[in-house]
């Protein structure tokens, strides 16, 4: 499905306007208010307009002065077009800065390569094809102007290095205790790095440098204990549930983001902060936020829009993630590729037969069990 060429440079200019508003308006907040600016940081929306609406509304209620978005705006869920509309509207009302994620690279490379290679009813590429067809020329041109890494400098405040994956690679994960992550932190010229990509909300500190990940707006991941399942809960054993019958937990959704608040370092500055000079020693303070919302429409739209039929295994993994199971798309895909190599001798993305994805999900579900409300819950196979 070829797209018509964009007329002029309208959307390039629009991005420049968003960028200019971010630096000038938030900088003005820093210099002219007692409390300093508050910037909402959001990432990994993945087509979840319902979760994004909740996060945007919550950030406005908490007094956010601007928004910083760290990429991966579409993918996995049903309404990338609604997500983009929300982002454009937000950027018209607030200072906003946007970073390019690895998903944006997928869409742009697919367009550059003549829209070849992705297929319907294919769990590896069907979801990407679905999202791509709902993105407009405006969206793709907008993505093409975004950078994967930006140094954010607001007057009177410590600079921030913002990226999707890492300052070096858009798909690299910054992880606690990881040697590469620690080396990148030691090399950083900024004391604060904002990253995304893992979908895990966390804070890493090392030698005076802090890495903050806001988690995911659209599909947050909880590698430890999922918030829906309290660690102290010890329910009586019950018969395992199989199949795809809906469970009450699947009606809930969680969305995560963070807010950076500018704070004066000294108590004296907190009392007398009336000018830009008083903010010379200001620092950023993070507020990690997790919201719960009704996710029934998110699941319903997977089916109603045809996305589920276009990428069945991929959507089942998404559902399992929402329910709190310790799965990821990447881990199931990696296992499917291992199975493919074992069976046929070679395997390369995206040409992975559906049968191997099915088997990989079956294996993951066989070992993935949660306890909730006195019941043992198995993920849908």
What domains can you pick out in the chain, each with its CATH number? Answer: 13-235+251-296 (3.60.21.10), 310-378 (no CATH)
pLDDT at position 246 over 50: no
- Rounded average pLDDT over 85-89: 98
Q: Give the model's confidence band at 249: pLDDT under 50 very low, under 70 low, under 90 confident, else very high.
A: very low
Measured at the alpha carbon of residue 223, what is the angle toward residues 180 and 225, in degrees to the nearest 5?
A: 145
**What per-residue confidence (pLDDT) applies to 154?**
87
Q: What is the mean pLDDT of residues 21-34?
A: 67
Residue 126: band (very low, low, confident or very high) from pLDDT cuts 50, 70, 90: very high
- Residue 185: pLDDT over 70: yes
CA–CA gap between residue 12 and residue 31 (Å, rounded): 29
Confidence of residue 87 (pLDDT cuts 50, 70, 90): very high
Inform me whether the pLDDT recorded for 30 exceeds 50.
Answer: yes
* Per-residue pLDDT, 359: 95
Q: Which residue has better confidence, 19 or 162?
A: 162
pLDDT at 282: 67
Average pLDDT (199-213) is: 96
Q: Please state the rounded mean pLDDT for residues 258-284.
A: 61
Task: Give the whole-number percent of the chain exceeding pLDDT 90.
Answer: 65
Does the structure show a pLDDT above 60 at 111?
yes
Position with higher pLDDT, 280 vs 298: 298
Residue 16 confidence (pLDDT): 72
Distance between CA atoms of residues 82 and 84, nearest Å = 5
Per-residue pLDDT, 274: 41
**pTM of this structure:** 0.87
- Of the two residues 44 and 19, the one the predictor is more confident about is 44
Position 377 scores a pLDDT of: 59
CA dihedral of residues 107, 92, 76, 114 (deg, nearest 10): -10
- Please report the pLDDT score of residue 380 as a whole number: 58
What average pLDDT does the segment 260-287 reach? Answer: 62
Mean pLDDT of the chain: 84
Long-range Cβ contacts of 303-309 (<8 Å, 24+ apart):
304/78, 305/78, 305/79, 305/130, 306/130, 307/77, 307/78, 307/127, 307/130, 309/121
Q: Which residues pair with 99 in a beta bridge?
A: 147
Res 225: pLDDT? 58
Helices (H), the chain: 10-32, 49-61, 80-93, 102-112, 126-134, 137-144, 179-187, 267-272, 296-304, 307-310, 312-323, 329-344, 354-367
Average pLDDT on 40-48 reads 98
pLDDT in tens, 342-359: 999 988 888 899 999 999
Mean pLDDT: which of 34-43, 52-61, 226-235, 236-245 is highest? Answer: 52-61
Q: For CA atoms 222, 302, 214, 150, give the dihedral sign.
A: positive
Residue 280 — pLDDT band, cuts 50, 70, 90? very low
């Amino acid at each position: 499905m070829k797209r018509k060429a964009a007329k002029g440079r309208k959307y390039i200019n629009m991005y420049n306007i968003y960028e200019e508003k971010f630096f000038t308006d938030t900088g003005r907040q820093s210099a002219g208010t007692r409390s300093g600016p508050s910037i909402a940081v959001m990432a990994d929306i993945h087509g979840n307009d319902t979760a994004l609406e909740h996060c945007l509304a919550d950030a406005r209620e908490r007094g956010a002065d601007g928004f910083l978005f760290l990429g991966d705006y579409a993918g996995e869920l049903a309404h990338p077009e609604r997500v983009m509309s929300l982002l454009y509207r937000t950027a018209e009302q607030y200072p906003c800065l946007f970073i390019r994620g690895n998903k944006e690279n997928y869409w742009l490379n697919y367009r550059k390569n003549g829209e070849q290679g992705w297929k319907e009813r294919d769990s590896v590429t069907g979801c990407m094809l679905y999202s791509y067809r709902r993105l407009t020329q405006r969206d793709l041109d907008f993505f093409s102007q975004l950078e994967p890494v930006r140094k954010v400098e607001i007057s009177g405040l410590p600079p921030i290095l913002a990226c999707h994956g890492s300052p070096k690679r858009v798909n690299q994960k910054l992880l606690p205790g990881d040697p590469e992550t620690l080396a990148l932190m030691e090399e950083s010229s900024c004391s604060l790095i904002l990253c995304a990509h893992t979908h895990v909300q966390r804070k890493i500190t090392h030698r005076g440098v802090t890495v903050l990940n806001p988690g995911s707006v659209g599909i947050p991941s909880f590698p430890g204990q999922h918030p829906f399942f309290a660690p102290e809960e010890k329910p009586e054993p019950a018969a395992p549930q199989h199949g795809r019958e809906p469970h009450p937990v699947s009606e809930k959704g969680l969305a995560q983001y963070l807010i950076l608040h500018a704070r004066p370092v000294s108590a004296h500055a907190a009392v007398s902060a009336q000018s830009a000079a008083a903010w010379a020693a200001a620092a950023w303070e993070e507020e990690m936020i997790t919201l719960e919302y009704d996710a029934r429409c998110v699941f319903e739209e997977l089916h109603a829009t045809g996305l589920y039929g276009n990428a069945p295994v991929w959507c089942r993994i998404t559902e399992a993630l929402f329910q709190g199971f310790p799965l990821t798309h990447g881990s199931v895909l990696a296992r499917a590729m291992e199975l493919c190599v074992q069976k046929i001798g070679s395997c390369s993305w995206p040409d992975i037969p559906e049968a191997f994805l099915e088997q990989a999900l079956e294996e993951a579900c066989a070992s993935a069990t949660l306890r909730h409300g006195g019941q043992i819950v198995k993920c849908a196979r």
